[in-house]
């Protein structure tokens, strides 16, 4: 395998990434757009760019991803894509009749410098946008940021274009769930519903990218936050943003625009982070925590207590999106595991500081890197092995090469099924995540132990 040529000697690299631990901004923007009901994402660039974004999402979610493209040619690349986008807008509303079109840019349209607000305004003036229909846009060049920042930019655009204030307050809480799976968004809604808090979750890909098979094709699935719900977010009593990188900018924009107070939390992965989310929701919604939620928390705590001996002292390497890594590192540290390597491909100036604050007691010498690549992670592991690796599908090569138990977590997961149907957030998601970790560690224990220690009971 090619990765066996990875060297143990680590040398500084400033102008080269080898196997980046990220994908590009438009993929995140397209995913966020799919979380709006009856929305057709539109890629303002070449057909090849759109095909890549759609195929990456399709391979992860095992669902067809529908999106339009401005289909740039050589002429568009020289003279700009305005004519292409105007024609595309007209065709999309005429043929596919979405409620809303969410346009994201690509490297090509950003380099040309297309003025999207001007083009959208021209389309409306020319009657290409039917009455009662909407277009929003986000600038998402692939040469900066990652899929997480693209997601964040599209979420912020939902606020910028659609949020309104009627003058009265609605007894509802906005929740921005971050770049998470459809199952995670469903679990967040379930927890809020159990507390009796009315919420507007945006975006919401549940029942869009995990819709049930009925035998009938539905162009726009039943799920997704509606345009009317997005417009009402300016009247909400508050906003809870889950994840500093993916969700904070939209929450802050809503606060600045309409004085909707926001609280920015870590993704609710694990006991402590879920406690913080439930407590924030309780306070903002002025409700009491019901027994059903307390009991669920107790079951997660029971697993942690019963299985603590198998977690204790195990060395772990993590890679993935910054928000997920912060929460996951916190959860594993609470289990008394040693999180020794943490890496993200997204540029985040505060990432290392946040991780080191989490690991300072259990792994004070932890190596942390942002805007980094998997070649670096592999070199770290070659110099000092770990007991467990967590990350997306691309980690399988490192796991095989170094013979490490591997749990697929994050985006993209291309070679397994279930991640979009089973949550990792909340108390229930924490139980499922612990089951994966324990199974991986136990499988390795059974594989490696001598015959006289090969037991039926743990």
Task: Tell which residue, 342, 326, 323, has the closest CA to residue 334.
Answer: 326
Homologous superfamily in CATH for domain 307-424: Nitrogenase molybdenum iron protein domain (3.40.50.1980)
Name the β-bridge partners of 47: none
Both structure tokens of 446:
């059974």
**pLDDT score recorded for residue 13:** 86
Give residue-wise pLDDT tens across range 132-143.
999 999 999 999
Q: What is the pTM of this model?
A: 0.96
What is the helix (H) or strand (E) element at residue 117, kind and residue range? helix 116-125
Residue pLDDT tens, the chain, 458 long: 456 678 888 888 888 889 999 999 999 999 999 999 999 999 999 999 999 999 999 999 999 999 999 999 887 777 789 999 999 999 999 999 999 999 999 999 999 999 999 999 999 999 999 999 999 999 999 999 999 999 999 999 999 999 999 988 999 999 999 999 999 999 999 999 999 999 999 999 999 999 999 999 899 999 999 999 999 999 999 999 999 999 999 999 999 999 999 999 999 999 999 999 999 999 999 999 999 999 999 999 999 999 999 999 999 999 999 999 999 999 999 999 999 999 999 999 899 999 999 999 999 999 999 999 999 999 999 999 999 999 999 999 999 999 999 999 999 999 999 999 999 999 999 999 999 999 999 999 999 999 988 988 87
In CATH, what class is 170-290? alpha beta
User: Same CATH topology for 25-162 and 170-290?
Assistant: yes
| Burial state string for 263-277 with b = 16 or more CB within 10 A and e = fewer than 16 | bbbbbbbbbebbebb
The one-character DSSP state at 165 is -
Phi-psi region of 131 (alpha: psi -120 to 50; beta: other; left: phi over 0): beta
In CATH terms, 25-162 corresponds, of 3.40.50.1980, 1.10.10.10, 3.20.20.80, 3.90.1150.10, to 3.40.50.1980
pLDDT single digits (tens) 326-381: 999 999 999 999 999 999 999 998 999 999 999 999 999 999 999 999 999 999 99
The answer to whether the CB of 70 falls within 8 A of the CB of 88 is yes
- Listed by start position, the domains of the chain span 25-162, 170-290, 307-424
Q: What is the mean pLDDT of the chain?
A: 95
């Amino acid at each position: 395998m090619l990765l066996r040529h990875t060297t143990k000697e680590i040398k500084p690299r400033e102008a080269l990434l080898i196997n980046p631990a990220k994908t590009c901004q438009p993929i995140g923007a397209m995913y966020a757009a799919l979380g709006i009901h009856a929305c057709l994402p539109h890629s303002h660039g070449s057909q090849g760019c759109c095909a890549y974004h759609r195929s990456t999402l399709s391979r992860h979610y095992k669902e067809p991803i529908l999106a339009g493209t401005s289909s740039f040619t050589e002429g568009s690349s020289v003279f700009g894509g305005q004519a292409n986008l105007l024609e595309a807008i007209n065709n999309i509303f005429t043929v596919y009749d979405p409620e809303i079109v969410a346009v994201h840019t690509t490297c090509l349209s950003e380099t040309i410098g297309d003025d999207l607000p001007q083009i959208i305004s021209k389309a409306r003036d020319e009657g290409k946008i039917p009455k009662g229909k909407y277009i929003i846009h986000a600038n998402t060049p692939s040469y900066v940021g990652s899929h997480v920042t693209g997601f964040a930019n599209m979420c912020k655009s939902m606020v910028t274009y659609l949020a309104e204030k009627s003058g009265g307050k609605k007894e509802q809480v906005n929740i921005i769930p971050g770049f998470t799976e459809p199952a995670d968004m469903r679990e967040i809604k379930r927890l809020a519903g159990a507390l009796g808090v009315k919420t507007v979750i945006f975006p919401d890909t549940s029942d869009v990218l995990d819709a049930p098979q009925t035998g009938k094709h539905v162009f726009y699935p039943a799920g997704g936050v509606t345009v009317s719900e997005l417009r009402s977010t300016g009247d909400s009593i508050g906003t809870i943003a889950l994840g500093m990188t993916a969700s904070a900018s939209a929450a802050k924009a809503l606060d600045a625009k309409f004085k909707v107070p926001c609280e920015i939390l870590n993704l609710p992965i694990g006991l402590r982070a879920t406690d913080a989310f439930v407590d924030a929701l309780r306070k903002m919604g002025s409700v009491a925590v019901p027994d059903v939620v307390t009991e669920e928390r107790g079951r997660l705590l029971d697993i942690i207590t019963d299985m603590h001996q198998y977690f204790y002292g195990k060395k772990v390497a993590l890679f993935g999106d910054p928000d997920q890594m912060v929460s996951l590192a916190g959860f594993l540290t609470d289990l008394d595991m040693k999180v020794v390597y943490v890496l993200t491909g997204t540029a985040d100036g505060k990432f290392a500081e946040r991780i080191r604050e989490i690991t300072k007691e259990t792994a004070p010498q932890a190596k942390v890197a942002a805007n980094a690549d998997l070649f670096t992670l592999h070199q770290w592991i070659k110099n000092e092995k770990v007991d467990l690796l967590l990350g997306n599908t691309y980690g399988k090569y490192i796991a095989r090469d170094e013979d490490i138990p591997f749990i697929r977590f994050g985006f993209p997961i291309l070679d397994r099924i279930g991640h979009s149907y089973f949550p990792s957030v909340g108390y229930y998601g924490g139980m499922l995540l612990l089951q994966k970790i324990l199974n991986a560690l136990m499988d390795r224990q059974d594989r490696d132990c001598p015959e006289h220690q090969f037991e039926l009971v743990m």
